[in-house]
Amino acid sequence: MLKQTIVSVYTHRELVREMAWRELKGLNRGALLGSVWLVLSPLIQVAAYVAIVSFVFGQRSSTGGPFDYAVYVLSGMIPWQILLRCLGQAPDLIRERLDLVKKVIYPLETLPYTAVMVSSFGSLVSLLVFLGLGLYAGRLQWTTLLLPLPAALLVAFVVGLSWSLSVAGVLIKDLREIVTITLALLVYVSPVVASEALVGPKVWGYILYNPLAHVVICFRDVFEGSFHPWSWVLFASLAAAAFLSGAWVMTRAKRHIAEYI
């Protein structure tokens, strides 16, 4: 049963793609610009963020020019956006799909994969902006081609945690609010905006106690051509632990979930 949960995304890959596409089309249904908002909304958000970071906070940074600092922040925002969106909605993945649980024999273990695909769309826009700014600022490295490596670890980490959180969310109704607030607070003790040069070695040492900080560091390693071996070891360990424990929780719980709803 555990193996079935793990390989379910491959077994039901067509279903996952279809559900992701359906959710994407439904996000802005009825809006004047319709699906255009799928690209326009994250583009406006990123543009505003780059402007603020570049011309306000970038002046205080020692990472180079203002656009250099914007590139630095965007390289951390890309994985953080996926974490924030996927984990923020994870507790309600099952509770918001009661019809699938009660009336249809649906592979619940595929829900996090659908959520990752939908949530990653906005981050893809951020990635394109980052690549453009990186080229303009001359900070783009050939190691960016290795992006699939931390991306695969991030998917495993997010899917594993989403399995556990979606099961827990059936029992704890306000878990989504708890997770959202926690993630919102963690951004202030993560290297998304902060750098060692900006906050100093002492504060940076405290930031490294945040496990999610190493997710950002690994993505930034790929983007900047640097290497922090312990961050990669910790990130890979977190991803493996979250994925395997989440698969175990989902395998044990999915047959009983309907009883608690």
Series of mean pLDDT values for 10-residue runs along the chain (261 residues) = 75 86 70 61 72 60 62 86 90 83 76 88 81 79 92 95 93 89 86 82 90 94 92 96 94 75 62
CA–CA gap between residue 235 and residue 183 (Å, rounded): 17
Task: Count other C-beta atoms under 10 Å from residue 224's C-beta.
Answer: 17
pLDDT of residue 28: 58
pLDDT of residue 57: 57
Q: C-alpha angle with apex 218: 75 to 191, nearest 5 degrees?
A: 60
CA–CA gap between residue 259 and residue 261 (Å, rounded): 6
pLDDT of residue 104: 62
Decide: 223 and 141 in contact? Cβ < 8 Å.
yes
C-alpha dihedral (143, 146, 150, 153), degrees to nearest 10: -160
Return phi, psi of residue 36, to 5°.
-60, -30
Task: Count other C-beta atoms under 10 Å from residue 43's C-beta.
Answer: 16
pLDDT of residue 187: 82
pLDDT of residue 127: 85
Return phi, psi of residue 12, to 5°.
-110, 35
pTM over 0.85: yes
